Amino acid sequence: MQSAPPFPPPILPCSTGAAPLTPEQIRKINEAARTHRALRRAARTALSSSGTTLLIGAVSALCAAFSPDWKNVGLSLAILAVGSIEYVGQRRLLRADRGAPRLLMRNQLAFLGVIVAYCMFQMLTFSTDALKKEAVSPEFREQLHQLPQMEKSMDAEIDKWGALTHFALYGSLILVTILFQGGLAWYYATRSKHVEAFHRANPDWAKQIVTRLAA
């Protein structure tokens, strides 16, 4: 039992006087749609990635608006830029643009670089003294001065667990980013062969029909 063709054959109005498509032309359209299927799957991945990235960027920008900080503002803008470029790459991929896989790959590698740089900055500028100031209010610190043993013990715990938690958090984020963004960049890079196969195996008129229907 044959499966249904990826796209129904175009129906030409009788009033145009155009000749109906031949079985061979319909076969070529279906073959072009079949070779375009891998690009549609990759485009869905890029669209999902774009939506997720833009959502993260919007939340980050909202947080930065309430607590302005040049690091957070810069990170938010970078994330929004990555999400926007991902969407552009997705549209280009549906059109079987030969440069789309390379654009998407470089975009993910740039995203990886931004996140790793941010995490490294957070790790290199970490200070337990700053953490103690944030964790212990000046009023409570004044009271602790009267209990030196308790103050010393509490500061030692902050030095130990604060640093461990901080470095574990950003170290884990770097690892996850390398695996996810690096894996996604590799996936996009391997889509180039599917773009080339689509262009190599199909006539121009069939490619135009399929890409217009997919867009």
For 8-25, what is each residue's pLDDT tens digit?
444 444 444 556 888 888
On whether the pTM is more than 0.85, the answer is: no
pLDDT for 98 equals 94
pLDDT of residue 155: 61
How many CB atoms sit inside 10 A of residue 62's CB?
10
Nearest to 39 by CA among 176, 196, 183, 206: 196
pLDDT in tens, the chain (215 residues): 444 445 444 444 444 455 688 888 889 999 999 999 999 999 999 999 999 999 999 998 888 778 777 888 888 999 999 999 999 999 999 999 999 999 999 999 999 999 999 999 988 887 666 665 666 555 655 665 566 666 566 666 666 666 778 888 999 999 999 999 999 999 999 999 999 999 999 999 999 999 998 87
- List the structure tokens of 126: 């970490």
In angstroms, the Cα distances linking 50 to 29, 53, 108, 127, 135 are 30, 5, 11, 35, 37
